[in-house]
Amino acid sequence: MSTQRKAQGAWRFYQVMAFVTGVMLLLLVAEMVLVYLVGVGPDVEAAIGWIPFVHGWIYVVYVASVFNLWSVMRWGLGRMVALVAAGVVPVLSFVMEHRARSWFATDVAARFGGEAAAARRA
């Protein structure tokens, strides 16, 4: 598999996980508000009790996607830390995905030149 294909695959994996992690983090915030601030009953707590567990495992997969993208793109440690932290702060994963898109596009164009531009158009 070519390096460009690995980079594009790593990007797609990260992109999906950034979205899923962001949505799950928003669900987690809603769950915490309902349980700790609103004080919903035990029936509702039992119904939404799966959210923290699922979010935790999705975050683990998200961190793996960040590490994969970071290692394929050979970015600096600061970018990896910023992307990992984005999965902890509500809404930040959406913002950082947008920023990482420009990093990715710039780096792919620099490393693969016209080959990458042709692949994006296809």
Q: What's the pLDDT tens digit per position in 11-59?
A: 999 999 999 999 999 999 999 999 999 988 899 999 999 999 999 999 9
Residue 109 CB-half CA count within 13 A = 9
- Asked if pLDDT for residue 116 goes beyond 80, the answer is no
- Asked if pLDDT for residue 70 goes beyond 60, the answer is yes
Other Cβ atoms less than 10 A from the Cβ of 83: the count is: 26
Q: Which two tokens stand for residue 25?
A: 């983090």
- Asked if pLDDT for residue 115 goes beyond 90, the answer is no
| Residue of 10, 19, 24 whose CA lies nearest to 80 | 10
If you average pLDDT over residues 91-119, what whole number do you get? Answer: 83
What's the whole-model pTM score? 0.86
pLDDT value at position 111?
Answer: 84
CA distances from 112 to 2, 103, 109 (A): 11, 14, 5
Q: How far apart (Å, rounded) are the C-alpha atoms in residues 31 and 20?
A: 16
